Amino acid sequence: MKTKKMSPLAVAIAEGLQEAISYTTDEKVTGVNVVEVEVPDVKEIRLKLNMTQEQFSSAFRIPPGTVKGWEQKRRGMDATAAAFLRVIEKYPEQVKDALRSTLAQA
């Protein structure tokens, strides 16, 4: 029986799958950096700002479904979104002003 040689893409996918399996079993994976993202509590931030989901979504240009998904823990959050929410939490008026000025320039 003749064996088929895998393409470079197939080899890369197989290696990635093996790394993922190793990671889930707490094995050390060389060349892989794991970054833990501290996810802010979106609902807590929104309530501190005394805003509805719709108001929060509109003010900070985040799709309503995304806000809802984050609050219900049905949607994951990447590091960039987490950082943006931390800035909103600390400087909500400045973020709104910055977003308004980008609209005016468009």
Please indicate, yes or no, whether residues 73 and 55 belong to a single structural domain of this protein: yes
Residues 7-41 pLDDT 10s? 888 888 888 888 778 777 777 767 667 777 788 99
Domain carrying residue 57 = 42-105
Token code pair at residue 1: 């029986």
Residues 49 and 96 grouped into a single domain: yes
Together in a domain, 100 and 59: yes
Please give the Cα distance from 97 to 10 (Å, whole number). 48
Q: What is the CA radius of gyration of the chain?
A: 21
Number of structural domains (the chain) is 2
The CATH code of the domain that includes 88 is 1.10.260.40
Q: How confident is the model at residue 103 (pLDDT cuts 50, 70, 90)?
A: low
> Are the C-beta atoms of 75 and 42 separated by less than 8 Å?
no
